[in-house]
Amino acid sequence: MPNTLAHFGVQGFLGHRFLAWCDPKWILIGCVIPDLPWIFQRMVRLLAIPVDLYDLRLYAICQASLLGCLIIAGALAFLSTHPQKVFGVLAINVLAHLLLDSTQLKWANGVHLFAPFSWELWNLGWYWPESVVTYGLTALGVIYVGVAWRSAVDQPLIPSLPSARNCLVAGLCLAIYVVFPFAVMSQVEDADNHFIKTLRHAETRVGRAVEFDRVPYFWKKSGGVIKTMSNEFLEVVNNPLQQSALVSIKGRFKASDTIEVEDLHIHSSWFRDAASYMGLVILLIMFLVPMIKSCELRGS
């Protein structure tokens, strides 16, 4: 999906045009909400927490759906001074994020706009992450940060403490956000999202189609292998790529541990992550600067 700065560029300028009254930080938070489950998943993997990695992916898919994003948006909105207005801003930006995600070409991936009624992945697939469109949107994000910086750092995100009632509602929304995936994860697996059902049942893989989005590919003298979401290594055949890379693959299982490649795309190994980390750091600084100013005023 487009990196965080790309989302800032598109959604930030739209917000600047149609939501001029709003603190830019709320708009940018709306840009980030659908990525929170994937950030959490990456943290769990980096910390090597012992969980089933297929279930971890299913959990993230549920939370990243429009439904899941609206639930956590509700939790954040009730911590604000104007919950209804803020929820509207967050909801609009969550939907915009998912629609923008759907425009990028992603094999084995997409967005869920109609969950829990349908867990079919939706993807328009107009351009690859390594395209002039993505680079242009990322540059637009850098420009937006410059335009919105003063307004964002001059006002605290939450100028006063929310009421006990609002805190209770926010806590309830957060609890639902954490728990609801467990009720629907089986539906997501049955829909074979990210080909998890295919991958989990190794005994039935042979002959089945499979796709992988942005997986590490390693070239060795004996041939090429990919590392899946569950840290399983699968041999790939019928593939001319003779260098290690980050790739997306379409293929079919020739054996339970071997994939016959039908199509392959090489990704940049650094651009998307670098632009996303930069966007997250910028948003964090936008939070910290008003807090530091507030502390300085209280201390003076």
Whole-number Cα distances in Å, 145 to 124, 129, 141, 265, 278: 28, 21, 6, 31, 11
Q: Is the per-residue pLDDT at 77 higher than 70?
A: yes
Would you state the structure tokens that stand for residue 91, as one six-digit string? 């909801």
Token pair for residue 44? 């769990």
> What confidence tier does 298 reach under pLDDT thresholds 50, 70, 90?
low
Side chain identity at residue 259, one-letter code? I
Q: How far apart are CA 139 and CA 184, in angstroms?
A: 38
Alpha-carbon Rg for the chain, nearest whole angstrom, is: 21
**Cα 291 to Cα 279: distance, rounded to the nearest angstrom:** 19
Q: Convert the pLDDT of each residue in 108-159 to its tens digit.
A: 999 999 999 999 999 999 999 999 999 999 999 999 999 999 999 988 777 6
How many whole angstroms separate alpha carbon 94 and alpha carbon 45? 25
Q: Which stretches does DSSP call E strand in the chain?
A: 209-220, 223-227, 233-237, 245-255, 258-267
Whole-number Cα distances in Å, 61 to 38, 141, 150, 160, 189:
8, 26, 35, 34, 10
CA distance linking residue 278 with residue 280, whole number of Å:
5
> For residues 206 and 221, which has the higher predicted lDDT (pLDDT)?
206
- Sign of the Cα pseudo-torsion (202, 204, 207, 209, in order): negative
DSSP annotation of 244: -
* Residues, the chain: 300
Q: How many CB atoms lie within 10 A of CB 221?
A: 5
Q: Per-residue pLDDT for 294 more than 80?
A: no
Structural domain boundaries of the chain?
Answer: 4-195+270-299, 202-267
Predicted confidence band of residue 252 (pLDDT cuts 50, 70, 90): very high
pTM for this predicted structure: 0.95
Chain mean pLDDT for the chain: 94
If 0-12 CB within 10 Å is exposed, 13-18 middle and 19+ buried, where does residue 159 land? exposed
Enter the tokens of residue 51: 């969980």
- Please name every residue paired with 263 in a beta bridge, in sequence order, or none if there are none: 250
Asked if the model's pLDDT at residue 217 lies above 70, the reply is yes
The architecture that CATH gives domain 202-267 is Beta Barrel (2.40)
| Beta-bridge mates of residue 248 | 265
